[in-house]
Structure 1
Amino acid sequence: MLFTRRRLLGLAIASTLTACSTTPPSPTAAPQTPKLLVLVVIDGLPMRQVTGYRDQLSTDGFARFLDHGRWFADAHYGHGHTVTAAGHSVMLSGAYPQRTGIISNEWRNPATGEQVYNTGDPDYKYIDSPTAPLAGTSPRNLKVETLGDVLRTRSPQSKVIGISGKDRGAILPAGHKGTAYMYMSETGRFASSTYYMQQHPQWVTDFNTAKPADAFFKKTWAPLLPEAAYARSVPDGQSWQVATGNGNRLPAVIGDKMDAPGPRFYGNLLASPFGDELTLAFARAAVRNEKLGQRGVQDLLSVSLSSHDYINHAFGPESRLSHDHTLHLDRHLQAFFQFLDKEVGAGNYVLALTADHGFTDTPEWAITQGRDAGRFNNPPSLLAVNTALSEKFGVEKLARAFSASGLLLNDKLAAEKGLDFAAVQAAAREELLKLPGVAAVFTREQLLSQDTTTPYLEAMRKSFDPTRAAQLQIVLKPNWIFSYRPGGSTHGSPYRYDTHVPLLFWGPGYVGQGEMKERAEVADLAPTLAAIAGLPAPAQAQGRDLRLKP
């Protein structure tokens, strides 16, 4: 059935409503295994934001897990370079980047110095959408299987679908045998790639033809609660809050000063609550049209919501804008969960919710709170290291570039010039340690050693694939960030604010209830869902079954 603008706009509006909200159903009996596994990922959501705003949550969004599900108060990533692609590679594989090979969002080939994108694959292109160089089009770089791969190997009729505002957020959880759909920020459409199919199913074409993104043109992002409710957060309009895109104050009109929807509007849409709303509308269409969990076989749906990450990057997790977005997101989740209750049946599916990483407070804000904080800028730092190495060895550009969380040295050039590479590496490490904000620098040899006592070494080891990573891996001091711009914030460290994320479960008849205070890791998610689904864990999983019992 053809989607209409009116129907899609109705879905969007419905997802913001909190009226008629009730506590989630609690059926007394459930099938032996769930018909549908649902993973919801909130890109860039630290656990402290979920618990910190608990008194302002709706009754059936995050509270579905906190009040009626099983949740882990101390859940973390075990790897040190906490970025989007790395986190998404861990969730449904149960393996750390040292095994998945997804060491970052992008890195440089150690042999050639060429850029590599985590889901980039020039053999494939987007369907009915432009494909930029290094665009994410396939899971080729993912070295391990996912839970969806296990499911489809055992049950080829099963469907595994990954949906996200970002290519990596869709492709990596979908694995090698699933299907990924990602938001195209140039067109406002959702698209798959030719890795998965040659043309879209009719329902995807219908969804895109209705131009649902355009329904948000000139729509206002206004605070959900009265001003006094945001007293715990940093006010809008701070000098360190990035003012491009939708500005840095609420209310904000999406598409303000634009004549019509276009690439800039579609890109800006992601950095607002409406980006999540649109993604969840597409997820609803997928559930309905693919009959997920309704066909007599087990299916898996992964939905990664990207907007919170963009907002935290621009304004910082301490901001009112981030606070308000968390509350809007909570209401959107409530509507989506209640849709699943009706469409699939509350006793027929299991929900899990996590994030791909946490977030660091904006350095300028941290400084006002008396913390040592700052920004590590790559280009001048590379110049400083190369200048020192040139003075010592008489050879220029012995350091190629920063790559993911490390500094890539030119070992071939060192060999050509007859230099002792160990001496070059030691000198580069020494120079890095002199730079402001650097706490530790680990060599390849340290990362491949059995040392388990040096602080942060084990975390960085779990981020280190020796075939893809730079020889020197860097850990900045707490509250320092890698940053090329004067405002906003980021993530990527082994510190608690970047590793501590939600790990929440709900499913009457499948998981129990209550807060769990024991430490857990996101690598435990895949083995746990596998046990719930009656499947073996993915082969390379390093996590454990958390044994959630009803």
Structure 2
Amino acid sequence: MLERRRLLGLALATLPFINACTATPPAPAAPPKVPKLLVLVVVDGLPMRQVSAYRDQLAPDGFARFLDRGRWFAEAHYGHGHTVTAAGHAVMLSGAHPQRSGIISNEWRDPVTFQPVYNTGDTAHTYLDNPTAPLAGTSPRSLKVETLGDVLRTRSPESRVIGISGKDRGAILPAGHKGTAYMYMGETGQFSSSTYYMAALPAWVKDFNAAKPADAFFKKTWAPLLPEPAYARSVPDGQSWQVASSNGNRLPAVIGDKMEAPGARFYGNLLSSPFGDELTLAFARAAVRNEKLGQRGVQDILSVSLSSHDYVNHAFGPESRLSHDHTLHLDRHLQAFFQFLDQEVGAGNYVLALTADHGFSDTPEWAATQGRDAGRFGSSPSLAIINTGLAAKFGVDRLARDFSAAGLLLDEKLAATRGLNFADVQAAAREELLKLPAVEAVFTREQLLGSDTATPYLDAMRKSFDPTRAAQLQIVLKANWIHSYRPGGSTHGSPHRYDTHVPLLFWGPSYVGRGEEQARVEVADLAPTLAAIAGLPAPAQSQGRDLRLSAAAR
């Protein structure tokens, strides 16, 4: 009896174990939903202040899609100091500052040979069905890091990564090493690619070009979108500092005015108007349809960089009515493109991100009328002044070879052959630069390779400094002073707020949430954030952070 009870107790004690072994295991958690398509829209040369300033005049579903129904960061900045197109486009989908990406500028001089280098130049490759000029951008050879598209295509070779832009660098750098880039050809009005990507253009691209869509804008008028009183907050047309060499500096403007037929000059001028963006977005629509982006059961990436705003701001300044009106036209073009994506891909199947490659300075002449210390820094006269000072001290001509990207390039070999201590030459050149009225700060190679983060502007310029490509001395101009090769217009390229502060906007209701974020973030955070949304690892050299996680922790 006792033995029977003992055995019964043993059996009862083992029931939980038996049940645990024989029970149906719980179903594995469903993998997190990821979007079928990531869409990055880049507006070349758009400061965040322009989006904010005209918010009351925006269409319901352009920029407002992000501001009213998306997630956006009011204080997004570039971390690097030389804020130019190529450097910004290289950061976006790599998360790597120029110190790692190697894309220190649009162009620079080789510090050993002093020969010009273009950021996406590659003489091994040529454009398809179009002429290839010297230094033309044809491949990502100079990009030292991987992009999010490279990560995706390594994991999923059947995925498609496409970059489109009015500029070669705006298409090539976001597309990375394993994507495909299509860029506008200013001589022919076509979109093309290069032999780096393919041997021949796809049939759909040939069909697009054969229809000559650029010609549809010949003699078309760029007219103000709103009544005249709506532009009271911006500077009127026709100012002496507004460049009139392309489509004039007054609205309305006829694109192709006084031309008999579309040609190279018309195709080039088209990019300096709202019609350049309209054409680029038409090509992007064709890419989505024909490549079936986000519609083939695998994840894809589309990057569209719109170049026209940069040309407008260079010619007229971001304070101008022309730039104000261009922003509003762009807003309407974006609305139409987003609604196309809703229909073609499905509103719940894709994520949008929008940013810019840099901001913009006001034109110095306008800034001066507002009581600001402002002016233009001319490279050629400044170089002559520096070399005169160096020759007086060392008895050697042309120790300073040229300005390269954000710096002054010194001839180390010449200094050595003349028995000069290069540290002394560098220090003397720095002194000469600091005598110039436009110069705020100058950093030596030793400072840039150091760890000081307290000195103003030093960390930003360090992030722009690749010692294998950059000049030995890196220069920061005073606020409101710009590098200039012509008497009018404006530019960018500094670590000042007006050049670093750009939009960083997201939309995709089930992926990114809604609301405004006030904390300062960097554009380098875009790549790891999109990677997390897509269920991918961040690019290997990324220096950013996942903003979704950091926001949730606050």
User: Same fold by TM (over 0.5)?
Assistant: yes
Aligned residue in 1 for 2:398: 397
Q: Secondary structure at the match of 1:473?
A: strand
- Tell me, in whole angstroms, the C-alpha distance in 1 between the residues paired with 2:216 and 2:409: 46
- Tell me, in whole angstroms, the C-alpha distance in 1 between the residues paired with 2:451 and 2:367: 35
Q: Secondary structure at the match of 2:60?
A: coil
- Tell me, in whole angstroms, the C-alpha distance in 2 between the residues paired with 1:31 and 1:51: 34
Matched, 1:199 2:200: yes
Q: What amino acid is the match of 1:37?
A: L
- Tell me, in whole angstroms, the C-alpha distance in 1 between the residues paired with 2:503 and 2:453: 27
Aligned residue in 2 for 1:351: 352
Aligned residue in 1 for 2:133: 132
Aligned residue in 1 for 2:222: 221
* Contiguous gaps of at least 5 residues in structure 1: 1-29
Identity %: 84
Q: What amino acid is the match of 1:472?
A: L
- Tell me, in whole angstroms, the C-alpha distance in 2 between the residues paired with 1:253 and 1:51: 29
Alignment deviations for residues 29-80 of structure 1 (CA, whole Å, 9 cap, x no partner): x980000000000000000000100000000000000000000000000000
Aligned residue in 1 for 2:73: 72
- Tell me, in whole angstroms, the C-alpha distance in 1 between the residues paired with 2:515 and 2:436: 46
Matches within 5 A, 1:136-535: 136-535=137-536
Alignment deviations for residues 245-279 of structure 1 (CA, whole Å, 9 cap, x no partner): 00000000000000000000000000000000000
**In the TM superposition, what is the alpha-carbon distance from 1:508 to its structure 2 partner?**
1.6
Aligned residue in 2 for 1:541: 542
Q: Secondary structure at the match of 2:267?
A: helix
Q: What amino acid is the match of 2:150?
A: D
- Tell me, in whole angstroms, the C-alpha distance in 2 between the residues paired with 1:130 and 1:181: 15
Q: Secondary structure at the match of 1:133?
A: coil
CA RMSD of aligned residues (A): 1.0
**In the TM superposition, what is the alpha-carbon distance from 1:547 to its structure 2 partner?**
1.0
Given that 1:102 and 1:142 are in contact with CA atoms closer than 8 Å, whether structure 2 keeps it comes out as yes
Aligned residue in 1 for 2:10: none
- Tell me, in whole angstroms, the C-alpha distance in 1 between the residues paired with 2:477 and 2:196: 38
- Tell me, in whole angstroms, the C-alpha distance in 1 between the residues paired with 2:149 and 2:452: 34
Aligned residue in 1 for 2:26: none
**In the TM superposition, what is the alpha-carbon distance from 1:324 to its structure 2 partner?**
0.1
- Tell me, in whole angstroms, the C-alpha distance in 2 between the residues paired with 1:122 and 1:152: 26
Given that 1:31 and 1:348 are in contact with CA atoms closer than 8 Å, whether structure 2 keeps it comes out as no
Matches within 5 A, 1:80-91: 80-91=81-92
- Tell me, in whole angstroms, the C-alpha distance in 2 between the residues paired with 1:495 and 1:439: 11
Given that 1:73 and 1:502 are in contact with CA atoms closer than 8 Å, whether structure 2 keeps it comes out as yes
Q: What amino acid is the match of 2:325?
A: D
**In the TM superposition, what is the alpha-carbon distance from 1:502 to its structure 2 partner?**
0.2
**In the TM superposition, what is the alpha-carbon distance from 1:523 to its structure 2 partner?**
0.2
Given that 1:174 and 1:302 are in contact with CA atoms closer than 8 Å, whether structure 2 keeps it comes out as yes
Q: Secondary structure at the match of 1:223?
A: coil
Q: What amino acid is the match of 1:318?
A: E
Q: What amino acid is the match of 2:385?
A: A
Alignment deviations for residues 197-226 of structure 1 (CA, whole Å, 9 cap, x no partner): 010000000000111000000000000000
Q: Secondary structure at the match of 1:225?
A: coil
- Tell me, in whole angstroms, the C-alpha distance in 1 between the residues paired with 2:390 and 2:326: 46
Q: What amino acid is the match of 1:88?
A: H
- Tell me, in whole angstroms, the C-alpha distance in 2 between the residues paired with 1:511 and 1:543: 17
Alignment deviations for residues 441-491 of structure 1 (CA, whole Å, 9 cap, x no partner): 000000001111100000000000000000000000000000011000000
- Tell me, in whole angstroms, the C-alpha distance in 2 between the residues paired with 1:189 and 1:452: 47
- TM-score normalised according to structure 1 size: 0.94
**In the TM superposition, what is the alpha-carbon distance from 1:436 to its structure 2 partner?**
1.6
Q: Secondary structure at the match of 2:518?
A: strand
Alignment deviations for residues 503-529 of structure 1 (CA, whole Å, 9 cap, x no partner): 000002111101001111000000000
- Tell me, in whole angstroms, the C-alpha distance in 2 between the residues paired with 1:514 and 1:62: 14
- Tell me, in whole angstroms, the C-alpha distance in 2 between the residues paired with 1:295 and 1:322: 39
Aligned residue in 2 for 1:13: none
Q: What amino acid is the match of 2:474?
A: Q
Question: Residue 311 and residue 305 in structure 1: after superposition, are their counterparts in 2 closer, same or farther (change >3 A)?
Answer: same
Given that 1:220 and 1:253 are in contact with CA atoms closer than 8 Å, whether structure 2 keeps it comes out as yes
- Tell me, in whole angstroms, the C-alpha distance in 2 between the residues paired with 1:187 and 1:468: 33
**In the TM superposition, what is the alpha-carbon distance from 1:391 to its structure 2 partner?**
1.2
Aligned residue in 2 for 1:24: none
Q: Secondary structure at the match of 2:297?
A: coil
Given that 1:524 and 1:544 are in contact with CA atoms closer than 8 Å, whether structure 2 keeps it comes out as yes
- Tell me, in whole angstroms, the C-alpha distance in 2 between the residues paired with 1:443 and 1:31: 48
Q: Secondary structure at the match of 2:487?
A: coil
Given that 1:75 and 1:520 are in contact with CA atoms closer than 8 Å, whether structure 2 keeps it comes out as yes
Aligned residue in 1 for 2:47: 46
Question: Residue 411 and residue 42 in structure 1: after superposition, are their counterparts in 2 closer, same or farther (change >3 A)?
Answer: same
Q: How many residues align?
A: 521
Q: What amino acid is the match of 2:500?
A: T
- Tell me, in whole angstroms, the C-alpha distance in 2 between the residues paired with 1:31 and 1:55: 37
Q: What amino acid is the match of 2:84?
A: V
Given that 1:45 and 1:309 are in contact with CA atoms closer than 8 Å, whether structure 2 keeps it comes out as yes
Q: What amino acid is the match of 1:189?
A: Q
Q: What amino acid is the match of 1:214?
A: D
- Tell me, in whole angstroms, the C-alpha distance in 2 between the residues paired with 1:385 and 1:65: 48
- TM-score normalised according to structure 2 size: 0.93
* Contiguous gaps of at least 5 residues in structure 2: 1-30
- Tell me, in whole angstroms, the C-alpha distance in 2 between the residues paired with 1:450 and 1:232: 43
Larger displacement relative to structure 2 (382-391 or 301-310):
382-391
Given that 1:526 and 1:538 are in contact with CA atoms closer than 8 Å, whether structure 2 keeps it comes out as yes
- Tell me, in whole angstroms, the C-alpha distance in 2 between the residues paired with 1:31 and 1:355: 29
Alignment deviations for residues 91-121 of structure 1 (CA, whole Å, 9 cap, x no partner): 0000000000000000000010000000000
Q: What amino acid is the match of 2:308?
A: S
